[in-house]
Every structure is written in structure tokens, then in C-alpha cells.
Copies of this chain bind each other. A is one copy, B any other.
Amino acid sequence: MSEGRPPVPASPTLEDVARAAGVSRATVSRVINGIRNVDPAIQETVRHAIAETGYVPNRAARSLVTRRAGAVALVVSGTGEESVDGPFHSKVFADPFFGRVASGVVGFLRPRGVHPILMFAEDDEARAQVIAYLRQGNADGAVLVSTNALDPLPGLLTGMGLPAVLFARPSPPIPISYVDVAHRTGAKLAADHLVAVGRRRVATVTGPLAVPAAQDRLNGFRDAMAAHGHPYVPCAEGDFTQDSGEHAMERLLAEHPELDGVFAANDLMARGALLALRHHGRQVPGDVSVVGFDDSSAATASRPPLTTIRHPVEDMAAEMTRLLLEHVDDPGRPVTSVIFEPSLVVRESA
């Protein structure tokens, strides 16, 4: 932003409150920051003066001395290869998942008087801007949700000493805290359910296999099916979009027309699979059972509603934020991971 005049009329300062209360700035400051050793009577006087003057602390002044921004960044990071259709940001939020993360983050932050700074890091340039911005000390830490496992950003952030917590385990092991869901357990839940409803010729639509989560879901599913006596599970790779799910399902159907069950690594792809199945005249769940993953809004909005694996995204995001604030308050704290257990939500598709 370019320069201009001050937009707001001068607001009351500590000095004003101190004068009104007949005490010193220091005392007012103590009251505001909840430091004890202040006479209760004086505290009362000060509080009254604060209310009377309509005083609100100036964050810049406070930050300058405390060396804390009092803000955190919410960084959505991508690969840089996604500029196929439309701007990255638009696409990102087309996936309801990110909205749930944002929700969880804000939900945790807000009661604490903190609000997240929203940043996108979809390519090298954007990443550089993010780094530059954070280097200015605009945020005390960052919660990071990345669409790409090889994202260099987590490494860069920890490298510059900025507290950061990831949503989902990074692919190259780096010393950074993260929250994640037990993908393998979730996939097992899906496998168990498909088998329980009598499916025997089951295939899976995977996410991009460079992503650990996609790997885990695939492997977990395969292992579970193997445990049920089905060592071979046909699979087709998608990229977590609905279209990719539809195409993957087409391929699966072409090669294995006899299949009677599908596990898609997320709901969007499951929805695409539903489309392909209908297109080929297969009834769901009559002919083919479909299980998704995420329990996103896509799951309830699709017809039939999706049986899926739910993970508590909002809770996870809140926990991620909690971890971040912990790291901010105590930079020496060792990195940790918190893994959430998913659950099966049975609807109509399987």
C-alpha cells in the first residue's frame, strides 16, 4: 500500500488512561497485561478509566517491544503445476477440505484474539513472497497445508527458524511438527466395510502417489484386502479431483468390467467414480459399492450419498494451531506429531 494520511482519528493511548486514572502508564500496562502486584482498588480505577476512554492497545507499539507479531500465517501451498484451469487459489478452495481447515484454524485462534493471515504459495515466486513477508516478522508462526508432498516450504520455514506446523506428514522426513490422520486405518475401515457388504471384486482409485497420504491409503487398503483373502486390487491413479476420479473409474471399468466395489481415496474422486458408473449403467450400490474418503460436503451432496471415511479435519486443524502456539511460546519444545483416528460413515453408496 502506498502512503497517505492516518485513516483514523487519534485513539486514546496508555498515557490518556493513566491520566484519567491518576496513575502511571506502567500501572495501566500491568493491569492490561494481567500482571499481579496491583492494588485491587487501583485495578478497578484503571479498568474504569479504560472503559471510559475507550482505550484499545496499539498492536504495533506492543509488537515493537515484545517482538511478537501476535499473528500467525495460514499458508496454503501447492506444487506449481496446477495452473491448468484457473488460478491456483480458486482451485484450492473448490476443494471443501481447505475450508474445513480454515474453519478449524480460525475456531482455535479467534477466542485467543488472534487471526490468521491468509497466504498462498503456489509457485516459486509466490513462495518467495511468502518467505519475505514472514521474514519481516509479520507472523509468529505458520500453519501450513500443502497439496504437494515435495513442497520445499516446510523446510524453508524451519530453516529460517519460524515455528511451523503441517497438516499431513511431509514426504521427505524433516524435523517439523504435524497432525495427520491414520490413513491406513481409514483405508482398512473401507476395505472391511466393502467385504462386509459382500463385495469380492474390489478396485481402488488412488490419489497422486507422490503424496504420502495417497500412498498410505492405497497400501492400507491393499493390506486389508489381502487380509481378507484378496491379494490383488486393481488400481487407477487420480489427482484428487472429480474429473480424475471419473477418468480413473473409466479405466478401471474398461479393464475390470466385473468389479463390484470401489474405494476412492477421496470423496471428490468417489463422486467422479459415481458419474462414470452411472454412465456405464451400473447401479450404486446395487451393482457396485463405492466408498470415499474425507466425509467432505461432497459426500452428502452426491447421489447416492457417499459412504466414506471421516476424519475430524476441523479438530485436526485446531490441534495443529494449538501445537503452533505451543511452539511459538516455547521455541525449544521438541517437534511432535498427533495422529487422529478416522471412522466409517455409512450412507447409501456402500
Contact = CB atoms under 8 A, between A and B. Distances in A.
A93 B87 contact: no
Contacts of A136: 56-59
B90 A59 contact: no
B98 A329 contact: no
A102 interface: yes
A261 to B, nearest CB: 22
- Size category, A interface: 35 or more
B328 A7 contact: yes
Contacts of A74: 118
Contacts of A115: 73, 117-119, 133, 138
Contact of A161 (B9, B138, B329): B9
A41 B60 CA distance: 34
Contacts of A60: 59-61, 63-64, 69, 137
B129 A110 contact: yes
A71 interface: yes
B117 A56 contact: no
Contact of A117 (B1, B63, B118, B331): B118
A314 B86 CA distance: 10
Nearest to A94: B297
Contacts of A301: 242-243, 271
A94 B99 contact: yes
Interface string A87-116: 111111110101110110011001011111
A2 B327 CA distance: 11
A218 B277 CA distance: 36
Contact of A1 (B3, B67, B100, B140): B140
Given A9-B161, A163-B7, A114 B59 contact: no
A117 B71 contact: yes
Contacts of A7: 67-68, 140-141, 161-163, 328, 331
A111 to B, nearest CB: 8
A94 B63 CA distance: 35
A189 to B, nearest CB: 21
Interface string A142-174: 000000000000000000111100000000000
Contact of A303 (B6, B275, B297): B275
